[in-house]
Chains A and B, each alone.
Chain A
Amino acid sequence: MSGGWVGTANRLPGARAGVILLILTAGSGAAAYLRLELRDLLPTEAGLSLMREFFAAALTPAVRYQAEGVPPGTMPLLIKVLSAAVATVRFAVAAVTLSMLIGIPLGTFASESFWRATAEEGRANARIRRAVSRALYLAARVAIAILRSVHELLWAVLLLAALGFTPMAAVVAIGVPYGAMLAKIFSEILDEAPQGASRALRAGGAGRLQIFCFGLVPLALADLVAYALYRFECAVRSSAVLGFFGFPTLGYYLVAAFENLHYGEVWTYLYALFGVVLFFDWWSGRLRRSLAT
């Protein structure tokens, strides 16, 4: 995604015009297929008043329960929001931890430079070794493609159906596709890292594991951590959404508030999510900048 294509703006105008034409054709085809009509965009009378109320509430998020007659002893709304936010972060952190446990080994096996750095030299059944490492490499790539292609909510649906309701289902549901995603990125980071250091270690007689740990990993570490932190931000969103399935994250309370027509409370939960996401956004950005200099 990075690179200096900006400077080559005018080199391939034909291709670009073609791409844009293609996009617009696909767009009108898709709209025709869905029988989209602008008329349907106009909300119904009820929808309109809901919309008005809902967006008006954006400016006045609730700080107290909107329902009348909350039983005494109920925890104050803001405390409840806070605890939901904390639960959301907790699910997200556990999921990203799992995704690192999955993604780092998988990404290692899926990177070419790992296999190049650790290829054995000298005679000793080189053919068999090569075949085995090739097979592992391909298996890792296929596993990544498969695990990644199923959305985390669909993993949740599957796991809930299989396991019944348990917090672990949510963690695994997010952790597995995120792990595959992390593996893909990690393998790309490893492959883009310069090869000199690992070659030098090999020339000094270092073993394969040593070459990997000291000649490749240090070069990839900073990027990997920055990326993992960015994934925290995504995981917080996913974990909030898992509340729709009954896990006690922000989504759960948000649905309840929405269905009770307490839009002020809905916005309180939305702003809480916004705050958490903003925090992780700031953190990963700051970390990236501190590494760049």
Chain B
Amino acid sequence: MLQYVNVNIDGAIVRAVKGTSVLDTAIEYGICIPHLCHVPYLSDISACRLCIVEHVNNGRSKITASCTLNVEEGMVIMTNTDKIRKMRRNLAELLVAQAPNSRAIQDIAVRCGVKQVRYPFRNDDCVLCGRCVRVCTEVWKAQAIGFVGRGKDRRAEYLFGVRPEFCKQCGSCIELCPMTITPCDGPMKPGEERLCGQCESQLIIADQTPGSCVWCKLGEGFACGRYA
């Protein structure tokens, strides 16, 4: 039998299934916590840090990723404080500056309140969210792709640099990759990257109700818990 615990998320006391994460619980109740590396049916690796929340415990609040934080009885969580919004915006800004050539990353940046990118753009083709690696390993049990290198040389790649025979060509890695969703106007040329401001409607929603789900492309494209 399922066991339940009561959790306070942004002032609402909600009933959560014991053993689930704060992120899953919040999404289930329609509280949007932006997230990138989390996929409902895969393990969580806490890599993108967009899903940060404040966990208030004994009067002290600690910032932590909600995808790897399990619900506990009496927990107090704040998903949308000024501090969280600012940090989340800074993280999303780092991401979109690194990899602007994805509608998914652009959308999530907008969702997180990025209005201006203060770093020179780079044109990277991977944000190391690890979605491809996990779907390949956990769902298809193929282990055809993995992470190689460390630090700023870390990248997701076929294990020996070429597609191995045991790749099942299922296409899941591509389906889940945020970098495969191109900007509306097509890929931006190197040197001409910009913050895409096309989706005015989303900008307005993100502005007026910063805590709510804007049904971003990220979710539609690949399994935000909201769309699943």
A and B are partners in one complex rather than unrelated chains: no
